[in-house]
Amino acid sequence: MKIAQVYINQLNIHLDRLFDYLVPKHLESQVIPGSRVVVPFGFGNKSIDALVWDLKSPPSDSSKLKSILGVVEHFPVLDHQQLKTCRFLQQVHHSLFMDVANAFYPGPIQIRKHKDSNGVLRYYVGQKDRESWLWKISQRNPNQTLEQLLSTVRSNATVQREILTLLWESPIEEAVLTARFRGVKKTLESLRSAGFLEKHRMKSMELEDPGPLEVQGAPRLTEAQQQILEDFEKGFQQTHLIHGVTGSGKTEVYLHMMEAALKKDKTCLYLVPEISLTPQTIHRVKARFGQEIAVIHSRISDGERLEQYKKIATKEIRIIVGARSAILSPFQDLGLIVIDEEHENTYKSSNRPRFDTVSLAQEIARLHGAKVVLGSATPSIGTYYLAKNGQYGFHRLPDRMNGQDMPASLVVDMRVELQSGNRSFLSRTLYASMREALKRKEQIILFLNKRGYFSYVFCRDCGYVVKCKQCDVTMTYHGEDNRLECHYCKATAPVQHQCPACGSRKMKYSGTGTERMQNMLQKYFPHATVLRMDTDSMKKKDAIADAVEDFTLGKADILLGTQMVTKGFDFENVTLVGVLLADLTLNFPDYRSSERTFQLITQVAGRAGRGNKKGNVVIQTYEPDHYAITHAQQHDYEGFYEKEVAYRKMNRYPPFSTLMYIGFSGNDEKEVAKECSEYHRLLSAEVTKTDPSLVFEAYPPSKSNIVRVNNKYRYYILIKTEHVDAFQEAIHHVQRSKETKQFKSTIFVDVNPNFIF
């Protein structure tokens, strides 16, 4: 008999280890590394599924070992590369092994059993597709008004009335409604039973796939593009960075690299940072290659994911386009991974399994013998540092494809505007520039990184601020729905007309978000059409694709939005970009706030002047002399990098060290604080025992900046070190120790986190 080393499918860190089981003779041909089996586990010998990691010879005394009960039939077997990927994320990013293994399977895992004709118990996997549903108002009299419909609903049924009001305008996806209203599924079914609503299955792929396209030939390459392709083929490095200004033709280089890989019968993965960018990427890739491509992201159903999974695994599809989750596809003969806009923080997974897409892509590429291409106009500091030091292949595209100059940028000091009596969110310079652009029938993009109507509500008599009951944050007023919303837990509350603290009716609404700004713009420019793009306005089916199409066709004059408008959109008639408040990200309490500010300004500025008309950018700020602002104004990435990397080196921030964030959350604040402190003590002792000479900074246990979110209290430990391996080992040991097994707090580890909060 052989011994199978297996991981039990239980997402518990104290079970995140190998267990030994005997392989019965009749199963020896089926039990292989990567296969899914069923084993008896625990004192009660409960049947549970497990994943085989390896096989080995039995020890001299194996009489106490339990035997595998059966193999799960028709379950995808993880190959060598996928198993190694699971181990990589377990060791480097502190993911649970089975968390990653399950992520490789497209959909929820349901193990079922039955007895065959010989009475032998057999196991198989059942696939239940979590379908997407679209809710709409039932067939109604065309003369019926919304008021008449609402009159048939109880006046105190607030949620029902709000849902009917929303659906009156257009159908809405169930996922959008469940994100907005707690426990809404019962309410929806109740409205359906009463005849108010109906629901339909929604094919999410239809939202993304533009259908058959005429295959287009490749345009003529510039000398700089051609040089990159030649250097890429000769280069010995596995990872390559293409640093190209906005509009320089990076995408065309990616497509040529993919074409070369496809000719070698290799598979290609093209990653984008946002789901909103997949339609235009799909369109361009399909138009170039004229073959079926897989589209992988969080909004496709499990059935669609499974269908594409099979086609990728059999190489029926050799091109995959998607967001972060596409990196866990079942690649065969992988040749190329393209990560466009590699600087975007959406490439870092903040949910289980936690991982950094770039480092994971590099590991997967190493296992497959493939190459990784990173592209950006504003590369992350760490990426640029490695490229400049020769660890990555380094390629530049310093000029735009059409020969146009980069847009001229002007910084406006909003302190001077205030001193001159202008309290508007638009400086006089930006207002005048907008009038001129509209007069010339040109389009404008305005960037304001704050959504909602008013940012907060407070009492002018006693100073009371309306906060979320579940989080330690202020609630934002949304005018369209006339409600207050918490942007952390999504809880809603009615508008406050009277102060709950002192009874005063002097409630003041303050701060400006995109919703209020849209109303202000419509008053300033009554003849212009203003289109808003933020997570509130883009919730409905096809909203993003429709908005991009409308703006491209000139149906709107001004596009106002949050970070969504900074992405890689290409609008030829946009000649003016306005950054309304550049300081919002600049003053965020994080060591990367300057980098993030520079990237956002540079990216949104790059939307101007991409056609044949000259572009202009107006940057409004209260800190006009900050180096992130001045270098963004000059489109000077190199100058910004030199300043920022010197700051990082002086303070030993990445890339000169690694940050390890250990987060704790729970219902009892005192208990969370106590367990955070105890973990800190255990970790310090473990590190000292491992190597007393290690140099590191372990900051004391601290409250998070927002200590309570969704009624969970949050504390953290932050470690800054250059001795990554030693700390990885120490954290693994403490995580699985007897002491932490008694902890009630939820604990997670994040390596080089996006935000320190």
Q: Are residues 188 and 262 in the same domain?
A: no
The domain boundary residue, chosen from 202, 230, 257: 202
Report the phi/psi class of residue 246: left, alpha or beta, with left for phi > 0 and alpha for psi in -120 to 50. beta
**Contacts of 351 by beta carbon, 8 Å cutoff, 6+ apart:** none
Q: Provide long-range contacts, Cβ within 8 A and 24+ apart, for 638-644.
A: 640/598, 641/381, 641/384, 644/381, 644/594, 644/595, 644/598
Number of CB atoms found within 10 A of residue 88's CB: 19
First to last CA, the chain: 52
Q: Is 502 annotated as a binding residue?
A: yes
Number of structural domains in the chain = 5
User: Do the beta carbons of residue 312 and residue 294 sit within 8 Å?
Assistant: yes
Burial zone of 628 (CB within 10 Å; 0-12 exposed, 13-18 middle, 19+ buried): buried
Q: Are residues 368 and 276 in the same domain?
A: yes
Q: Are residues 284 and 308 in the same domain?
A: yes
Question: Residue 11 is encoded by which pair of tokens?
Answer: 């997402």
Strand duo 172-173 + 530-533: pairing: unpaired
Burial 342-374 (b: 16+ CB within 10 A, else e): bbbebbbbeeebbbbbbbbbbbbbebbebbbbb
For residue 202, the SS3 value is strand
Q: Is 471 annotated as a binding residue?
A: yes
Let me know if residue 496 belongs to a domain: no
Strand duo 558-561 + 371-376: pairing: unpaired
Let me know if residue 468 belongs to a domain: no
CA dist., res. 194 & res. 187, Å (int):
11
Q: Is 462 annotated as a binding residue?
A: yes
Q: Is 86 annotated as a binding residue?
A: no
Q: Mean pLDDT per segment of 10 residues, for the chain of length 757 residues?
A: 93 93 92 95 93 89 87 91 96 94 83 80 68 75 75 82 80 74 82 85 46 63 93 93 92 95 96 77 84 82 81 93 92 95 91 92 97 96 96 93 85 94 93 96 93 89 92 88 87 88 91 91 94 82 78 93 81 93 84 93 89 91 95 95 96 93 94 95 86 73 91 93 87 92 92 81
Q: Side chain identity at 550, as an amino acid letter?
A: D
569: CATH: 3.40.50.300
Q: Is 676 annotated as a binding residue?
A: no
The length of the chain is 757
Let me know if residue 472 belongs to a domain: no
CA dist., res. 538 & res. 546, Å (int):
10
User: Can you give the three-state secondary structure of 445-490, one letter per residue?
Assistant: EEECCCCCCECEEEECCCCCECECCCCCCECEEECCCCEEECCCCC
CA dist., res. 651 & res. 97, Å (int):
34
CA dist., res. 229 & res. 28, Å (int):
49
CA dist., res. 358 & res. 105, Å (int):
21
The domain boundary residue, chosen from 202, 223, 240: 202
Let me know if residue 475 belongs to a domain: no
Q: Are residues 242 and 184 in the same domain?
A: no
User: Do the beta carbons of residue 109 and residue 125 sit within 8 Å?
Assistant: yes
Number of CB atoms found within 10 A of residue 102's CB: 18
Q: Is the dihedral of CA 734, 78, 300, 108 positive or negative?
A: negative
> According to the model, what pLDDT value does residue 360 have?
97
Number of CB atoms found within 10 A of residue 200's CB: 10
CA distances from 449 to 103, 354, 562 (A): 32, 26, 4
Give 3-state DSSP helix, strand, coil % of the chain, rounded to 5.
35, 25, 40
Q: Are residues 269 and 231 in the same domain?
A: yes
CA dist., res. 158 & res. 160, Å (int):
6
Burial 148-179 (b: 16+ CB within 10 A, else e): ebbeebeeeeebbbbbbebbeeebbbbbbbee
Q: Where would I find the beta strands (DSSP E) of 631-701? A: 658-666, 696-698
Q: Are residues 262 and 141 in the same domain?
A: no
CA dist., res. 282 & res. 213, Å (int):
11
Let me know if residue 501 belongs to a domain: no
The domain boundary residue, chosen from 99, 126, 153: 126
> According to the model, what pLDDT value does residue 214 have?
54
> According to the model, what pLDDT value does residue 202 have?
59
Place of tokens 């990237």: 599
H or E stretch at 36? strand 36-41
Number of CB atoms found within 10 A of residue 595's CB: 22
CA dist., res. 471 & res. 476, Å (int):
13
User: Do the beta carbons of residue 538 and residue 475 sit within 8 Å?
Assistant: no
Q: What is the DSSP letter of 116?
A: -
Q: Are residues 66 and 190 in the same domain?
A: no
Q: Are residues 57 and 174 in the same domain?
A: no
Q: Are residues 224 and 354 in the same domain?
A: yes
> According to the model, what pLDDT value does residue 210 have?
43
User: Do the beta carbons of residue 33 and residue 23 sit within 8 Å?
Assistant: no
Number of CB atoms found within 10 A of residue 428's CB: 13
* Residue among 271, 244, 258, 398 at smallest CA distance from 344: 271
User: Do the beta carbons of residue 615 and residue 409 sit within 8 Å?
Assistant: no
H or E stretch at 248? none
CA dist., res. 241 & res. 394, Å (int):
5
Q: What is the CA radius of gyration of the chain?
A: 28
Phi/psi of residue 94, each to 5°? 60, 35
CA distances from 715 to 139, 191, 298, 670, 673 (A): 52, 42, 29, 10, 6
CA dist., res. 580 & res. 511, Å (int):
13
Strand duo 239-244 + 172-173: pairing: unpaired
Q: Enumerate the H helices of 290-427 as residue ranges.
A: 302-313, 357-368, 381-388, 414-419
Let me know if residue 494 belongs to a domain: no
Let me know if residue 183 belongs to a domain: yes
Phi/psi of residue 558, each to 5°? -125, 130
User: Do the beta carbons of residue 77 and residue 31 sit within 8 Å?
Assistant: no
Torsion of CA 522, 524, 529, 530, to 10 degrees: -60
CA dist., res. 630 & res. 272, Å (int):
29
Q: Are residues 40 and 149 in the same domain?
A: no
* pTM score of the predicted model: 0.85
**Which residues span the domain enclosing 734?**
658-751
CA dist., res. 45 & res. 560, Å (int):
60
Let me know if residue 508 belongs to a domain: no
Strand duo 110-115 + 132-137: pairing: unpaired
CA distances from 354 to 326, 359, 463, 749 (A): 14, 12, 40, 8
Place of tokens 């735009």: 400
736: CATH: 3.30.70.360
Question: Residue 290 is encoded by which pair of tokens?
Answer: 């004229």
Q: Is the dihedral of CA 546, 548, 553, 555 positive or negative?
A: positive
Q: Are residues 217 and 356 in the same domain?
A: yes
Q: Are residues 238 and 359 in the same domain?
A: yes
Question: Residue 581 is encoded by which pair of tokens?
Answer: 């408040």
